Amino acid sequence: MPKDKLELVNRRLNEFYGPLYVASQAGNIAYRSLLKKQGKTQSFPILDSEMKEWMLWMTTIFMPLNDEREKIIIKKAYLIVEEQMPQCLLDFVTHVVGYKAVVAKWAEGDYSERRSTIGWPPEFDVYVERSYAALKAKQTYLLHSFTWRLWHRLFPRKRN
């Protein structure tokens, strides 16, 4: 039974929460880097003078990371820890879909929209980080308890 639990935790980490965590961290670091480069504390409003760089970062950095996270959420939803789909994951997917429309307009030369009409869900990053940390802790616990039991099975204590 503990081995089955460990395998499930490993799958959740390897196929869902781990990739979400890494992509989210990379996206946050890139976003902060862009803001620092522009001397801003938030990306909006996006000024006309910033539009070209915003489009570059959106199409080459942020959207590829968003697309990857969206695929993970949609294709690996069965690995979610909760019984119900967390709202922040649905909100994230909706946010990404909104940006796909914006990027498609840009590709046609229409720059009237600069951001997704669906805002970034602030709970998303917190959820991903907490879930990842909780599963890593559970993985460590299960590994240690499994190793402990195996050790004692292989090398039983001699009683005097």
49-90 pLDDT per residue, tens: 999 999 999 999 999 999 999 999 999 999 999 999 999 999
- Burial code (b: 16+ CB inside 10 Å, e: under 16) for 3-20 equals eeebeebeebbeebbbbb
Q: Which residue is listed with tokens 């489009």?
A: 55
Parse the chain into domains and list their residue ranges: 2-154
pLDDT for position 33: 96
Residue 145 near residue 2 (C-beta atoms within 8 A)? yes
> Is a pLDDT exceeding 90 seen at residue 28?
yes
pLDDT band at 145 (very low <50, low <70, confident <90, very high): confident
pLDDT for position 59: 97
